[in-house]
Amino acid sequence: MTETPLLSIRDLKTYFYTYEGVVKALEATSFDIWKGETFGLIGETGCGKSVTALSVMQLIPQPPGRIMSGSILFNGVDLLKEPEKTLQQLRGCAISMIFQEPMTALNPVYNIGRQIAEVILLHKDLTEVPQKNTRNPITHRRIQRARKKRAFEKAIEALDMVKISDPKKVARQYPHELSGGMRQRAMIAMMLACDPDLLIADEPTTALDVTVQAQILDLMKELQHRKGTAIWLITHNLGVIAEMCDRVGVMYAGYIVEIGKTEKIFENPDHPYTRGLLRSIPLIMEERQRLEIIPGSVPNLITPPEGCRFHPRCKYQMDICKTCAPPLVEVEPDHCVACHRFADVKYSVVGEEEKHG
Partner 1 sequence: MDEPLIDASHLKAYFPVKKGMFSSTKDYVKAVDDVSIQIRKGETFGLVGESGCGKTTLGRVLIHLLPPTSGTLVFMGSNLSEISKHELRMLRPHMQIVFQDPSSSLNPRMTIKQILSEPLRINKRYKGEAVTTKVLDLLKTVGLDKQHLYRFPHEFSGGQKQRIGVARALALNPDFIVLDEPTSSLDVSVQAQILNLLKDLQKQFNLTYLFITHDLSVIKFISDRVAVMYAGKIVEYANTVDLFRDPLHPYTKALLAAIPIPDPRLRSKHIPLKGEVPSLITPPAGCRFHPRCPVATEACAKIEPHMKEIYKDHFVSCF
Q: Are strands 247-252 and 77-78 parallel, antiparallel or unpaired?
A: unpaired
Binding footprint of partner 1 on the chain (CB under 8 A): 44-45, 179-182, 209-215, 217-218, 236-245, 262-263, 266, 276-278, 280-285, 288, 290-294, 297-298
For residue 167, is the peptide bond before it cis, meaning its omega torsion is within 30 degrees of 0?
no
For residue 69, the minimal CB distance to partner 1 (Å) is 29
For residue 279, the minimal CB distance to partner 1 (Å) is 8
First to last CA, the chain: 42
For residue 187, the minimal CB distance to partner 1 (Å) is 16
Q: Which residues is 251 bridged to in the sheet?
A: 256
For residue 90, the minimal CB distance to partner 1 (Å) is 31
Q: How far is CA 120 from the centre of its chain?
A: 23
Residue placing its CB nearer to partner 1 in the complex, 65 or 181: 181
Q: How far is CA 184 from the centre of its chain?
A: 15
What are the CA-CA distances from residue 124 to residues 89, 115, 117, 119, 196 (Å)? 10, 14, 10, 8, 12
- Do residues 67 and 55 touch, judged by C-beta distance below 8 A? yes
Residue placing its CB nearer to partner 1 in the complex, 72 or 314: 314
For residue 297, the minimal CB distance to partner 1 (Å) is 6
Residue placing its CB nearer to partner 1 in the complex, 13 or 236: 236
- Do residues 274 and 336 touch, judged by C-beta distance below 8 A? no
For residue 298, the minimal CB distance to partner 1 (Å) is 8
For residue 257, the minimal CB distance to partner 1 (Å) is 14
Residue placing its CB nearer to partner 1 in the complex, 283 or 320: 283
Sheet holding 65-74, edge to edge: 21-33, 7-18, 65-74, 77-78
Nearest CA among 222, 208, 260, 224 for reference residue 99: 208
Residue placing its CB nearer to partner 1 in the complex, 20 or 84: 20
Alpha helices in 129-258 (DSSP H): 137-161, 167-171, 180-192, 210-227, 238-244
For residue 189, the minimal CB distance to partner 1 (Å) is 17
Residue placing its CB nearer to partner 1 in the complex, 9 or 178: 178
Residue placing its CB nearer to partner 1 in the complex, 293 or 329: 293
Q: How many CB atoms lie within 10 A of CB 180?
A: 16
Residue placing its CB nearer to partner 1 in the complex, 120 or 257: 257
Q: How far apart are CA 240 and CA 319, in angstroms?
A: 36
